Amino acid sequence: MQKLVIWGTGGHAKVVADIVRLAGKWEIAGFLDDWALHLQGSDFCGAKILGGREQLEKLRSQGISHLVFGFGKCHARLELSALIKPLGLSLATAIHPRATTARDVPIGSGTVIMAGAVVNPGASVGENVIINTLALVGHDCVIEDGAHVSAGARLAGKVRIGRAAWVGIGSTVIEGVHIGAGAKIGAGAVVAEDIPEYVLAYGLPAKIIRKMAMDEN
């Protein structure tokens, strides 16, 4: 099996590691985390914490060709993706064996699809997307790069989720709605109208609460 590293050492990284092992395609060579440098060399989730981004240039010489992100922050996943590609590293896609994705759905590199998630026909899923546990992506939806569809969220048909947008846990998005880039939808919201980019919205129905910084998600 080819080797990969997972960037992150939190709870999300544990879930990603479980998916990678269940899928049986990759061997986890270790974990990276800029915030856990004091734990370098220690055990985490069945492998070693190798260090932070200072380790990236060494990975290829160690026979490691792929990386997947194990954290939820949307803009950070996109920024770090741009960092690793010039180093000759590729992004791995991790799909839980008990997720359901229609045959015609293109899925971008670096995307993670978790247990119980369903992606229906005609949809498209970009790079570095998270489709979390038990999430539903309806027919003909478009999920742009870096977006996060949280656990239990439900997207009706023809919904568009913009680049690095976040759809909160248990939210419902009505058919044909467009959520703009960098927007964040709060937990349990019902989104019945288009949401512009870089705003926080929540409620029943969802209302815009405030503007957000471009890298806040």
75 is catalytic: no
Nearest one of 137, 134, 158, 157 to 147, comparing CA atoms: 137
Residue with tokens 């069945």: 46
- The DSSP bridge partners found for residue 66 are 4, 90
Structure tokens at 154: 């439900």
C-alpha span between 93 and 26 (Å, rounded): 10
Which is catalytic among the residues 12, 96, 139, 148? 139
- The DSSP bridge partners found for residue 120 are none
Q: Is the dihedral of CA 195, 165, 157, 203 positive or negative?
A: negative
What distance separates the 2 farthest-apart alpha carbons in the chain? 53
C-alpha span between 88 and 180 (Å, rounded): 32
Which positions are annotated as active-site residues? 139
